[in-house]
Amino acid sequence: MNAHSKKGIAKFYEKNFKEALFEFSLALSEEPQSKEARIGAILCDLASHNEEQALALFEYYLMNQQNSSESFEELFQDMIDSVERNSEKIAHLFKHNDLEMRINAENGIKYEDFLALINSRGSFKEAFEDIMFSTKVIISKKEDFVDFLSKLMENGFVEMSLNYLESAVTLFPNDEQLLSLIKKVQK
């Protein structure tokens, strides 16, 4: 990794995306085949639309770059493309179906609106896959949280539901509903 890529990464983490893009561009001019610089530049562009997702994707890339292969880079590029496409697709779905909902990139989608998206898509799995990289689901009631976790498990997102459950159980160690879900997952 050259000095400009290192500076680009530092600027990216400082959320100074313009300077990070400049550094990644300099790195690409010196090393046109640099994967880090190319991915960094793409994510700087994404950050102008969705900062949080760009940061998450960048960290994921940096953690996995040691195992980097051509197929990983292609997969990662597909993930970036998916985030951009799905943001547009979701907005179109809501507009197309005349649902009176709004997705705010910083705040996400309310659970009630997510349930309406499930109904319009016809399945939890399709609706969740549409938003999982681009939108947060905002859950404000414990019942909705338990319902969401159950739906995750039922639709094959067991690992993700376990991550949520582990966090929730530390906050509510004696909650019967959460303990019941853990037992369900363990089976």
Give the closest residue to 42 by CA, choosing from 21, 11, 15. Answer: 21
Percentage above 70 pLDDT, the chain: 73
Backbone angles phi, psi at 64, to 5 degrees: -105, 0
State pTM to two decimals.
0.45
Mean residue pLDDT of the chain comes to 76
105-156 residue pLDDT tens: 445 788 888 898 888 888 888 888 878 777 788 887 888 888 888 898 888 8
Residue 123 burial (CB < 10 Å; 0-12/13-18/19+)?
exposed
